[in-house]
Amino acid sequence: MPELPEVETIRRDLREAVVGQRITAVAVSGLRSVRRHPDHRVFASGLEGRTLLEVGRKGKYLLWRLDGGQALVIHLGMSGQLLLAEEATPPPPHAHVRLGLSGGGELRFVDPRTFGQLFLSRPRSSGTVPELAHLGPDPMEDRLEEDRFASALSRRRTMLKPLLVDQRFLAGIGNIYSDEILFAAGLRWDRRAASLSREEAGTLYRAMGRTLAAAIRARGSSLADAQYRDLFGAPGRYQLQHRVYGREGLPCPRCQAPVVRQRWGGRSSFWCRVCQS
The one-letter amino acid code at 23 reads: I
Distance (Å, whole) CA 5 – CA 211: 10
DSSP, res 240: G
Catalytic residues: 2-3, 60, 267
Distance (Å, whole) CA 1 – CA 106: 23
Distance (Å, whole) CA 47 – CA 66: 8
Class of residue 21 by CB neighbours under 10 A (exposed 0-12, middle 13-18, buried 19+): middle
Torsion sign across C-alpha atoms 57, 63, 68, 69: negative
Q: Is 195 helix (H, G, I), strand (E, B) or coil?
A: helix
Q: b/e map of 108-119 (b: 16 or more CB within 10 Å)?
A: bbbbeebebbbb
CB atoms within 10 A of CB 99: 26
